[in-house]
Structure 1
Amino acid sequence: MPSFVQILDFIGTFAFAISGIRLASAKRFDWFGAYIVGLATAIGGGTLRDVMLNVTPVWMTDPIYLICTAFAMFFVIIFGKYLIHLNNTFFLFDSIGLALFTVVGFGKSISLGYPFWVAIIMGSITGAAGGVIRDVFINEIPLIFRKEIYAMACVIGGLVYWICLKTGMESYMSQILGGVTVFIVRILAVKYQITLPILKGDEENSKE
């Protein structure tokens, strides 16, 4: 039986793959191109995390991540017409993937004995890096670099996860609360247009 963290990982993979494939379809990618974008979105952050933690990337030892992406591909093919008309579809699946992958990355780092600040960074990389790769592939400015709160939601969720663990809360409850925090922060930030300050430079010099 898969563990609770593995279930979160699989759901996050499916959600992130859908978000990537959905955007690829909007850019008129073919099926293969859309699958690659979805796969990169789903495994990109986890791959970068595992390389930095000096462990074998999970998708190289378990094909379930490739299979999850394939299911996401078929899901978009079958329900594509409905998804296109739902403007919030990408945002919803992206936020779910962000929350779940942040929890998975944080938990894996803690289990390997790394301190909490490393776990928060690894959780943020797991959640946000796949989206950066996705946006590069579809020729968009990565969402993490825009004014929307994205990676900061991962940091806040990671802090909540760590605080819950330090207070003696059960691991699975800490994971749930950490993930819910990421999701809620992301939703509220977009709903109420909460943004980080924009770094302003000299416009005249930047144009030269």
Structure 2
Amino acid sequence: MVRNLIVGIPVENIWQQEDLFKVAIIIIFIAFILPNKWIYQWKKWVIFFDAIGLAAFSIQGANWAVSIHAPLISVIIASTMTGAGGGMIRDVFVGRKPLIFHSEIYALWAALAGLVIGLNWAQGPFSTFSLLVGMVVLRILSVYYNWNLPRKIHGKY
């Protein structure tokens, strides 16, 4: 929704997704009424589902940018903004530092999806699905193995 506003898609288009809103409201209701001990067990799956969301929204953002014949850098930015933006908003709402501001690899995977799609390396359903699976695997591996981006500490990397 934020991306749509930034790129000029009318706000009223968001309401055309009523089935997605129904699913979201049902899931929110289920999560709200479940006992806390069940929610704790689900926290183990958060990284997996977040990786799926990061991949799916990144690909969707990149595809949208390609559909309007945007230049490669715009495709990468749309992919990154769409993929990482939802997670940022979620993290802000729950009162924690957004993942994009941690040293772990997060937005880089979204930018990579934009690059792949912007260079037309993923055309068709099979290659798009392969890109989605690849992004999910890379995101989970980066969490599991604690891969981080280089950062400057006291003048050194």
8 Å CA contact 1:101, 1:126 repeated in 2: yes
Name the amino acid aligned to 2:84.
Answer: A
Tell me what 1:90 maps to: 46
How many aligned residue pairs are there?
153
Q: TM-score, normalised by structure 2?
A: 0.83
Cα distance in 1 for partners of 2:106, 2:79 equals 13
| 5+ residue gaps, structure 1 | 1-46, 203-208
8 Å CA contact 2:77, 2:111 repeated in 1: yes
Q: TM-score, normalised by structure 1?
A: 0.65
Cα distance in 1 for partners of 2:101, 2:87 equals 11
Cα distance in 1 for partners of 2:23, 2:72 equals 30
Cα distance in 1 for partners of 2:73, 2:126 equals 20
Query: 1:138-191 deviations in whole A, cap 9, x for unaligned?
Result: 11111110111110011122223334x25xx64223321322232122111111
Tell me what 1:179 maps to: 132
Q: Does 1:133 align with 2:89?
A: yes
Cα distance in 2 for partners of 1:134, 1:56 equals 23
Cα distance in 1 for partners of 2:50, 2:34 equals 17
Cα distance in 2 for partners of 1:54, 1:86 equals 36
Query: Bigger CA drift: 74-83 or 144-153?
Result: 74-83
2:98 paired residue among 142, 146, 158:
142
Give the Å deviation of 1:95: 0.9
| 5+ residue gaps, structure 2 | none
CA RMSD of aligned residues (A): 2.2
1:62 paired residue among 17, 25, 35:
17
Give the Å deviation of 1:135: 1.3
Cα distance in 2 for partners of 1:79, 1:89 equals 16
| 1:60–1:200 CA distance, 2 compared to 1 (3 A) | farther
8 Å CA contact 1:59, 1:66 repeated in 2: no
2:141 paired residue among 188, 199, 205:
188
Cα distance in 2 for partners of 1:170, 1:156 equals 15
Cα distance in 2 for partners of 1:134, 1:147 equals 18
Give the Å deviation of 1:115: 1.9
Give the Å deviation of 1:78: 5.8
Cα distance in 2 for partners of 1:108, 1:75 equals 32
